[in-house]
Amino acid sequence: MKKLFGFLLMLTFALVLSACNSSDSTGSETSSGSNEVAADTGKIELTYWYAWGDKIGENNENLVKMFNESQDKIHVTAEYQGTYDDLHAKTQAAFAAKNAPEVTMNEIASIGVFAKSGMTQDLTPFVEQDDMDLDDFNPGLMGNSYVDDKLYGLPYLRSTPILYMNTTMLEEAGLDPAGPKDWAEFEEYLRALTVEGKTVGMTMPVNIWMYEAFVAQGEGQMISDDETKATFNEEAGVEALEFWKKLEKEGIIKVPGGEEAGEVAKQDFANSRSAMIFSSTADLSYNLSVAEEQGFELNTAFMPSNKVHGVPTGGANLVMTAGLDEEKQKAAWEFIKWMTAKEQTIYASKFTGYLPSRLSAVDSDEMKALYEERPQFKVAVDQLQYGHARPMAEAYPEIATIVTDAIARTLLEDDLSPQDALDAAAEKANQLLK
């Protein structure tokens, strides 16, 4: 474990150097305006690091501003840090340099890496002291909150992948705008929606999160429960990749490559060059606004099933960094508790499309009214009954990269079979798991 942590830190220092020399158009490196405060206010000062810009960034800045205005003992400065990868790399480097933020977001698959490396604080004593009702958190979102039976993060901006559909295009093709129910119907939709030289059924970049969903739909999993063996090369994983390769070879899905692949998928969908897209429920508010601007109707649906329904959960939990003094710990806990409370959960879900992580929020009059007006928001909530936690093995981030590369090679090379590619990836993964 120590060797892995040391290796990660060496990598992250390099990543931080490059990241600090670039900017992301979706956010800014630090917050502004509402978070500026004089140093002599007497308040306890906390720094909060978050990922992603646009509506997600606005949500974080707005909530922090509301927290600062809700009381007079703690002041939080929110700072944007890029993607999850950027955020994690910077947090690891800052922790090593002893200037980490007191509160940050952990993408859920990284909860275990940070906790086992001693970078985040066990929140169990704080929950017990306040007698917090953890049963109010949706149980489908708690799987990535515990490490070795200790609570290391509370669900904050959480998601599942869902199917977005340009229902205007579906209706023109004579298809049910409710969407495909299973893989067979999904293939039929893709074929009907593809017009050579004009449109494609779906633009679908290689994405480990989506692959995890397809594996779960075949009743499989990525690694064994005891985290000692790769299982993505078993029947469910191979069947998923064979299906992807078939769709790509027939030309009814487009698989862009490179760092801009995700952006290409978004633009194809926005410009009606593709009729469907798999994406996070966090993109719902954005996609609804795009559909309105571009003049088409948008609907959402469960990801199509295979043997069963199945999706990974995603998004981030809020965590407290380790090593804070008692005063900072108490203040950080108050902030985390406030950010994950029912009222803030409702605000964040309505503003972005992220899942409401508390059951009391789902049952609130505000969310019920939203679901009545915009049923697209309820799809991910209903689909959560089929949600799975993501693997949290310390080696999983590296394994995910290995699997992603194997998938991309399989789709590019006609003579490379899914079984051979995944077997080779599993061999590398097993070495890491050992």
Distance CA 8, CA 93 (A): 9
CATH number 3.40.190.10 given to 2-159+314-388: yes
For the chain, percent of residues with pLDDT exceeding 90: 85
- Whether the predicted pLDDT of 368 surpasses 90: yes
pLDDT digits (tens, 9 = 90+) for 391-414: 999 899 899 999 999 999 999 999
What's the pLDDT band for 55 if we cut at 50, 70, 90? Answer: confident
Task: Reply yes or no on whether the pLDDT at 33 is more than 80.
Answer: no
Does the pLDDT at position 355 exceed 90? yes
The DSSP letter of residue 230 is: B
Do residues 138 and 384 make contact, with C-beta atoms less than 8 angstroms apart? yes
Residue 40: its pLDDT value, please?
60
* C-beta of residue 329 within 8 angstroms of C-beta of residue 121: yes
The pLDDT-based confidence of 37 (bands split at 50, 70, 90) is: very low
Alpha-carbon distance values, 36 to 76, 257, 305 (Å): 9, 41, 49
Tens-digit pLDDT profile for residues 244-297: 999 999 999 999 988 899 999 999 999 999 999 999 998 998 999 999 999 999
Q: Do 2-159+314-388 and 161-312+395-433 fold alike per CATH?
A: yes
CA 36/CA 34 separation, integer angstroms: 6
Cβ atoms of 141 and 357 within 8 Å: the answer is yes
* 429, 223 Cβ separation under 8 angstroms: yes
Task: Please check the confidence at residue 196 and state whether its pLDDT lies above 80.
Answer: yes
The CATH code that applies to domain 161-312+395-433 is 3.40.190.10
Q: What is the pTM of this model?
A: 0.85
Residue 175 has pLDDT above 90, yes or no: yes
Q: Where are the domains of the chain?
A: 2-159+314-388, 161-312+395-433
- Name the phi and psi angles at 201, rounded to 5: -60, -45
Report pLDDT digits (tens) over 100-123: 999 999 999 899 999 999 999 999
Q: What is the mean pLDDT of the segment spanning 14-42?
A: 42
pLDDT in tens, 67-93: 999 999 999 999 999 999 999 999 999
